């Protein structure tokens, strides 16, 4: 799918994305749907690799299996697949969708049903200052309450962009910032000081995932909460981040962690460790975003959602899987994730 608005982040420019959608039919007449949004720089996969995993492993293993034995299927897949988080997420989602449809319930109710809607941020890529402000005002005029500004290529330009957006958008808009590992320690400290003055609520992954000590120093010194994104893939990563006090909160993306099952485990761990959670996303079709939304709605530890990866996709077949209104995302009231092709 092409993006109606291509964007830039610290380490890449994005104009098209490829998703892989999996449909699992059952002899009961129910179809479960999952989605993979592979990204070589984040998940370590390509779309071709996902399709290869499907043909060589997933289809032979799942054909004739009991779709309600989700834990058994997942265990068998993990034993034979190489590291492939979005592939696992795709299967996990499809099986969870089947379970919801079999039970006649939306997935978020099965997972806990803590809330029925959540505010999502909308992302502004790296743009010149004036264009950043124009995009911000465009989004707020549409009812968005939270903006996520991408940066990490020039700290001085990032500081100016955030300040101008705050000035233009006013005090009521939640401004979040994501450097995608782009800052040095000096730049990160400089930006954190300015971001506090501008009322930024989160600084996401300011520095390299490979230097947890640097993240810990920033977390201790910053007046703005520091969120780990690229630094978090596994439960071991979350434990290490908490043990080193290297982040105040974590960003859980289904594609990155391997699906709903590990996302639920991470939410429980975050609650035990006293860390807040944001449920985020890749550039995903609406069915993938819907799965993240159902996870975000299920648990009180989720404080933020950044579930906008479907908004600019041209030709997304699954747009009816969720609803956006006045800055809030609402799930479908239909069983499962609410969409069948």
Distance from C-alpha of 101 to C-alpha of 109, rounded to nearest angstrom: 12
Domain ranges in the chain are 2-104, 109-331
The per-residue pLDDT for 62 is 96
Q: Which of 10-19, 134-143, 260-269 has the lowest mean pLDDT?
A: 10-19
**Residue 171 pLDDT > 90:** yes
Q: pTM value?
A: 0.96
List the catalytic residues. 150, 178, 204, 229, 253
Mean pLDDT of 89-98: 98
The per-residue pLDDT for 196 is 97
The per-residue pLDDT for 214 is 94
Distance from C-alpha of 127 to C-alpha of 136, rounded to nearest angstrom: 11
Distance of CA 213 to the CA centre of its chain: 24
The per-residue pLDDT for 68 is 94
The per-residue pLDDT for 13 is 86
- Are 330 and 337 within 8 A, CB to CB? no
Pairing of strands 20-25, 31-36: antiparallel
Torsion angle of C-alpha atoms 263, 269, 271, 272, degrees rounded to 10: 170
Mean pLDDT of 201-225: 95
Mean pLDDT of 174-186: 97
**CATH class entry, domain 2-104:** alpha beta
**Residue 119 pLDDT > 90:** yes
Mind listing the pLDDT tens digit for each residue in 288-332? Answer: 999 999 999 999 999 999 999 999 999 999 999 999 999 999 999
Spatial neighbors of 317 by CB under 8 A, at least 6 apart, are 21, 285, 341
Superfamily of 109-331 according to CATH = Enolase-like C-terminal domain (3.20.20.120)
């Amino acid at each position: 799918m092409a993006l109606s608005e291509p964007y830039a982040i610290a380490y890449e420019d994005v104009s098209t994305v490829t998703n892989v959608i999996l449909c699992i039919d059952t002899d009961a007449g129910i179809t479960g749907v999952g989605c993979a949004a592979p990204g070589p720089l984040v998940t370590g996969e390509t779309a071709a690799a996902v399709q290869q995993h499907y043909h060589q492993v997933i289809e032979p293993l799942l054909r004739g299996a009991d779709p309600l034995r989700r834990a058994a299927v997942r265990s068998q897949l993990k034993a034979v697949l190489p590291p492939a988080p979005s592939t696992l997420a795709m299967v996990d989602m499809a099986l969870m969708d089947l379970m919801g449809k079999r039970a006649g319930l939306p997935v978020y109710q099965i997972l806990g049903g803590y809330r029925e809607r959540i505010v999502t941020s909308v992302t502004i890529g790296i743009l010149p200052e004036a264009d950043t402000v124009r995009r911000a005002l465009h989004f707020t005029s549409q009812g968005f309450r939270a903006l996520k500004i991408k940066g990490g290529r020039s700290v001085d330009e990032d500081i100016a962009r955030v300040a101008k957006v705050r000035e233009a958008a006013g005090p009521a808009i939640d401004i979040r910032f994501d450097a995608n590992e782009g800052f040095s320690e000096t730049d990160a400290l400089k930006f954190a000081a300015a971001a506090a003055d501008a009322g930024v609520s989160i600084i996401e992954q300011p520095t390299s995932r490979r230097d947890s000590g640097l993240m810990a120093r920033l977390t201790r010194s910053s007046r703005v909460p520091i969120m780990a994104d690229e630094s978090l893939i596994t439960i071991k990563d979350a434990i290490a981040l908490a043990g080193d006090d290297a982040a105040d909160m974590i960003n859980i993306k289904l594609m990155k962690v391997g699906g709903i099952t590990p996302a639920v485990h991470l939410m429980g761990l975050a609650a035990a460790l006293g860390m807040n959670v944001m449920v985020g996303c890749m550039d995903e079709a609406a069915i993938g975003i819907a799965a993240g939304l159902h996870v975000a709605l299920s648990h009180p530890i989720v404080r933020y959602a950044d579930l906008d990866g479907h908004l600019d996709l041209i030709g997304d077949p699954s747009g009816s899987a969720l609803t956006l209104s006045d800055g809030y995302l609402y799930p479908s009231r239909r069983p499962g994730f609410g969409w069948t092709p």
